[in-house]
A = this chain, B = another copy of it.
Amino acid sequence: MIAYNNKAWHRHIFVWKGAVIRGIWPRILIFMAWTALIIYLYDIGAIPSEKKIDMVIYNVVGLALGLLLVFRTNTSYDRYWEGRKLLGSMTNSSRNIALILDNRVPKEAKEQRKDFAELIAAFSYAYKEHMRDGVKREDIPCLREEYKDIVFASKHVPLAIMKLLQKKVSDLQAKNPVNTITIGLDTELSNFVNNLGGMERIRNTPVPFAYAAHLQLFIVIYFVGLPFGLYDKFHWLAVPAVGAISLILLGINEIGVEIEDPFGDDPNDLPVDKICENIEKNVNQILLEN
């Protein structure tokens, strides 16, 4: 994620890092070249000048295109924000579990406290990598080797860590009488599982293919026809005009593409790494600091 000052508008106009132009400049050039070709063909008379598209037709479909593009961006933003909420909920549950355990595990049982802090942090690093290319042993430095041996024997590493954590909690509860704090603990643990499932859902279910494909087709038809509509009034100015319009419209589409799967490490993705580090720090502050 790029942190930026939202009032320093002048610094955001001509940036490359994080800007949508990185993903769309080839298409912009293609549409401009196509426009130049058509204008040239009109000029040499290969296309008779009365064969043109009246712009009225662009009023008709332009609205639909604008609505579809903005709806697409909207949908992607909803996925982005839902992803952020799930990560936030992970932070909350980690803190809550740590706060409850802080009251259950005696101050002297340093080893047991270390155990819990380690597993909670390991879980957060594990789901982070699970959302990317799969978890590898070196991704979870905070976890001791004997636990790594156990969890990497399973296919689904975060679930295996979860199983280990639930085992530890269960052992702790077995030694204590039933009490209400336990309910909170169980709720937060199942919240971990729910959030993990929510992130897998966003990660594995893209915007429906029919939607994405139809939008691409729409854009191509739109820009293939555009030079025939602009020639009459713009002549060679149609080339920069198509450049500007395609920069704007393709850019809106590209925002949606960039943010719809927000758990990666692109400049416009969520600050997942930082959030996971914070979870480790917070849990350590609560459980290990005096």
A interface residues, Cβ below 8 angstroms from B: 1-4, 6-7, 9, 12-15, 18-20, 23, 27, 51, 53-71, 73-75, 77, 80, 84-85, 88-89, 91-92, 95-96, 99-100, 102-103, 154-156, 159-160, 162-163, 166-167, 170, 173, 177-184, 186-190, 193-194, 196-198, 200-201, 204-214, 216-218, 220-221, 225, 230, 233-234, 237, 241, 244-245, 247-249, 251-252, 254-255, 257-261, 267-268, 270-271, 281-282, 285-286, 289
Q: How far is the CA of A4 from the CA of B206 in the complex (A)?
A: 8
In the bound complex, how far is the Cα of B218 from the Cα of A69, in angstroms? 15
Instruction: State whether A13 touches B220 (Cβ < 8 A).
Output: yes
Contacts of A155 in B (CB 8 A): 281, 285
**A57 lies within 8 A of B194 (CB):** no
Copies in the complex: 5
Which of B84, B166, B200 is close to A103, meaning CB atoms less than 8 Å apart?
B166
Given A9-B216, A70-B67, A214-B19; A244-B221 close (CB under 8 Å): yes
Bound-state CA distance A249–B237 (Å) is 26
A209 touching B154 by the CB < 8 A rule? no
A255 in complex: contacting residue of B9, B58, B198, B210, CB < 8 Å: B210
Which residue among A204, A261, A281 has the maximum number of chain B CB atoms within 10 Å of its CB? A204
Q: How far is the CB of A230 from chain B (nearest CB, A)?
A: 8
Closest to A199 in B: B88
Asked whether, in the complex, the Cβ of A245 is within 8 Å of the Cβ of B56, the reply is no
